[in-house]
Structure 1
Amino acid sequence: MEMVAATNSTRNESDICTNLYDHRGWAQYFLPAMYSLICILGLLGNVLALHVIWPNLKKINSTTLYSANLVVSDILFSFALPLRVVYYAMGFHWPMGEGLCKAMALLFYINMYAGVNFMTCLSVDRFIAVVLPLRFSRFRKVQKVRYICVAVWVVVFMQTLPLLSMPMTNIEQSGHITCMEFPNFEKIDNLPVMLIGAVLLGFGMPVITILVCYSALCYKLRILAKSNKLTERSGRSRKVIGVICTVILVFVVCYSPYHIDLLQYMIRKLRYEPDCSERHDFQISLHITVCLMNLNSCLDPFIYFFACKGYKKKVLRLLRKQVSMSFSSVVRTSPEGSSKDVFGNDKIHMSLRSNQKERSSVLLSD
């Protein structure tokens, strides 16, 4: 009886922790700045990626189809970020109601699970294309890939829709209304077991699949490069391996800290009830690791730049156009506007454009 009473008193004490959001002083400046940057870069980069993919839908392949779904997921997520910025800027206060909080949470978790699942599909697709092209080529046919994409979205919605039945907001003793914070979920029965299972299935299995597929892919590319001296001299295999390592690095750096942080805390909760200091430390670590995970949505376009030739062409073309327009405006506003100078500047301008074309052709010849 004494043990039960002690446990109950510990739980009651943990329920009234008032220090969980004591870091709002620096968080209401740091987090809005980070999420604003993620929103702007992610939206611009992914809209450009969609602009490149959309005109070529008739000749789309499996890789592009998976990438298109990843782009759509990132764009949807970007629409929820302005509300998140407002929430953090107000010092963890959400005055916009339970319904809008749930909608934002739904977009957040849809992006997380869709990102993990479609990056896993991309790794398996590349593995089949290079390592097992004959035996499983049917899984790379566009019609089959469309069904796989639909199945992935069904799985993602099955993973996220249960959130709608959970309370997302909570009124703190300070009067702040928090939204989508971990303490708001702690009243759910068997939460540690549920979250450990979610981490192992939703992150553990995909990350193992990605590492195995890309390791086998790199090994196969090295063998092909050694057997073909021309390929080895061109450095194409090294570039492909570089892109693969970049994808793995982005995935591991963005997704691992959050899931490892969640896993270790849930294991601790199964052993004992963390005190207020531990709960506060976990809150800080969650805000940082979630921010790092969301960074993935604006890093994806950089992967497209190095991996997708069409995307690279579009970005370089826009940059050339911007440089050309800037140079033309300088020429027009030049105080020494004689015809001789203008023709001289035009020649320089044309020379610069030709040099840029030569450089871009070298960049795009990989």
Structure 2
Amino acid sequence: MMISDSTTPNTLNTSNACNTSELVDDKMLQTPLAVLYSIIFILGLTGNLVALWVFFFVHSKKNSLQVFLMNLSFADLLLAVCLPFRIQYHLQQDKWELGQTMCKLVGYLFYMNMYVSITLLGLISIDRYLKIYGSAGTRRKMRSPKWSIVVCAVIWVVALALMIPFVLKSNDKCVDTTKCFQYRTIPQKDMLKAHINIFVLVVFWLVFVSLVLSYGKIALKLLRRSQQRPDLPTAPHYSRVARKSFFVLFLFVVCFVPYHVFRGFYIKTQITEETLETRNLADKFNEISLVFSALNSCLDPVMFFLLSASVRKEVRRFMTSVLRTRDVGGTSAANSSTELDSRSDKRQSNALDNVSEKKYVLSSSS
């Protein structure tokens, strides 16, 4: 798990003396960060609550994709819950009043759920890849959601096991308790944190490369199939599924790549002697790119909308309720459209001549 930068800076290589002076200036980002995190919090909280309600209470039939989406929504919701603390901190001109333990808890919980989301997006790509390229035995095993439930349980246990020791660690007496989420250098005695950060950075890029390759192969195969047999009623459906695959990749690139592109530079400034201007630059890049990572919590519900027919149906109902729409004709037309899509998908599924592709298409549109 990435180590959270949630305490005040110490002077590099200073282990015996306390230094509570700020090394970087975050004043110019206080208001923009508070506004952006407020927008992300509102959208992320609403979108993920609707998605979880659908997954738990509406869509009773579960498959591996649904299990991963459900856990992804829960991780996004926990991340969104951390945002009000950051919003309050920035609105109070970067003044923290809740103590060191709460600062560490919010900081580590934010990063924990960010990396749980990254892991789950990677597992979704593996799930979809194996459903179309895996052997017959592999596809048969993946029809049951049991394996995905076990994998998700392991992810949460590992994530919590990595987070709890850092949160329960005795508070540093040299730390200014009025500061949180601040840039800080890493002294030689804490180089383990730097090594963990570098390890997680490497793992992220490995996941990213595997995700690009898997979604690329999936999309290309589906596009080729739609071009080779355009007369099949399923041809347009292949193209739609390919576009959905690229959307997941697009979401991953927009939200997580910027943060990890600058992460190496940021870590370097923490463990080496750098000028104040360089540290200021690293801190601002880190804060801005972190907003993109938080943006994932309100963009994932868009992915749920694309991949889950149940979510699409309930969102339509929700919007109708909010707007108090009384247009019976419009409602009937929407229901007719939904039924038509369902019948169309059924005809397309029956026309598929490959069992693995049939399972893949159904999981992508259900």
What TM-score does the superposition give when structure 1 sets the normalisation length?
0.79
- Equivalent residue runs for 1:61-140 within 5 Å: 61-132=63-134, 134-137=136-139, 138-140=141-143
| Residue 297 (structure 1) aligns with | 297
- Equivalent of residue 157 in structure 1, options 143, 157, 160: 160
CA offset digits 1:52-105 (Å, max 9, x no partner): 111256421000001111111111222221111101111221111011112212
2:131–2:142: 8 Å Cα contact kept in structure 1?
A: no
- 1:1-366 map, 5 Å: 20-24=23-27, 26-56=28-58, 58-132=60-134, 134-137=136-139, 138-164=141-167, 165=169, 171=175, 177-183=178-184, 185-186=186-187, 188-189=190-191, 191-201=193-203, 203-231=204-232, 234-267=235-268, 272-323=272-323, 325=324, 349-357=327-335
Greater alpha carbon shift after TM alignment, 109-118 vs 228-237: 228-237
SS at match of 2:153: helix
- Distance change (3 Å), C-alpha of 1:269 and 1:43: closer
Q: Which runs of 5+ in 2 are unaligned?
A: 1-10, 346-366
Contact 2:122 2:207 (C-alpha < 8 Å) held by counterparts:
yes
User: Shift of residue 189 of structure 1?
Assistant: 2.4
Which string of whole-angstrom CA distances, capped at 9 and with x for unpartnered residues, describes residues 119-155 of structure 1? 1111100101122251422245212221111122223
User: Does the aligned pair in 2 maintain the 1:258–1:289 contact within 8 Å?
Assistant: yes
Alignment partners' CA distance in 1, 2:138 and 2:312? 30
SS of the residue corresponding to residue 179 of structure 2 reads strand
Q: What amino acid maps onto 2:305 in structure 1?
A: F
Post-superposition Cα deviations, 1:108-129, rounded to whole Å, max 9, x if no partner, equal: 0221111011111111001011
CA distance, structure 2, for counterparts of residue 231 and residue 110 of structure 1: 45
- Distance of 2:251 and 2:289 partners within structure 1: 14
Q: What secondary structure is seen at the aligned counterpart in 2 of 1:274?
A: coil
Q: Percent identity?
A: 24
* CA displacement at 1:160 relative to structure 2: 3.0
Q: 1:266 Cα deviation (Å)?
A: 3.0
Answer whether contact 1:39 1:82 (CA < 8 A) is retained.
yes
Counterpart contact for 2:55–2:66, Cα < 8 Å: yes
- Is the 2:186–2:194 Cα contact (8 Å) retained in structure 1? no
Q: Cα–Cα, structure 1 residues 140 and 21, in superposed 2: closer, same or farther, change >3 Å?
A: farther
Question: Contact 2:262–2:285 (CA<8 Å) still a contact in 1?
Answer: yes
Aligned mates of 2:269, 2:78 — CA distance in 1: 34
Q: Secondary structure at the match of 1:117?
A: helix
- Residue aligned with 2:54, SS: helix
Label 1:194 to 1:352 Cα distance change in 2 as closer, same or farther (>3 A): closer
| Residues 101 and 168, structure 1, Cα contact 8 Å, conserved in 2 | no
Q: SS where residue 260 of structure 2 aligns?
A: helix
* Equivalent-residue separation in structure 1 for 2:173 and 2:206 (angstroms): 31
Task: Rate the CA distance shift 1:178–1:204 in 2: closer, same or farther, 3 A.
Answer: same
Asked if the contact 2:12/2:186 (under 8 Å) is kept, the reply is: no
In structure 2, what residue type is equivalent to 1:206? V
TM-superposed CA distance for 1:315, in Å, is: 0.9
Structure 1 residue ranges without an equivalent (≥5) = 1-8, 329-348
- How far did 1:269 drift? 6.1
Residue aligned with 1:136, SS: helix
Deviation at 1:241, TM superposition (A): 1.5
For 2:142 and 2:116, the matched residues in 1 are separated by 19
Distance in 1 between the 2:174 and 2:232 partners? Answer: 60
Structure-2 change in CA distance of 1:68 and 1:286 (3 Å): same
Residues 101 and 169 in structure 1, CA contact (< 8 A), matched pair in contact too: no
The amino acid that maps onto 2:78 is L
Contact 2:52 2:70 in 1 (8 A): yes
Name the CA distance, whole Å, in 2 between partners of 1:266 and 1:118: 25
The higher relative CO (CA closer than 8 Å, separation ≥ 6) is in 2
Question: Matched residues in 2 for 1:289 and 1:301: separation?
Answer: 20
Question: Contact 2:266–2:283 (CA<8 Å) still a contact in 1?
Answer: no
Structure 1 residue 309: Cα displacement: 1.0
- For the 8 Å contact 1:169–1:184, the answer to whether it is kept is no
Contact 1:167-1:184 at 8 Å conserved across structures? no
In structure 2, how many angstroms separate the alpha carbons of the residues matched to 1:71 and 1:168? 34
Which amino acid in the other structure matches residue 317 of structure 1? R
For 1:169 and 1:182, how far apart are their aligned partners in 2? 18
Give the number of the structure whose alpha-carbon radius of gyration is greater: 1
Is this contact kept in 2: 1:226–1:232, CA < 8 A?
A: no
Segment drifting more, 147-156 vs 40-49: 147-156
Displacement of 1:308: 1.1
Cα distance in 2 for residues equivalent to 1:168 and 1:363: 59
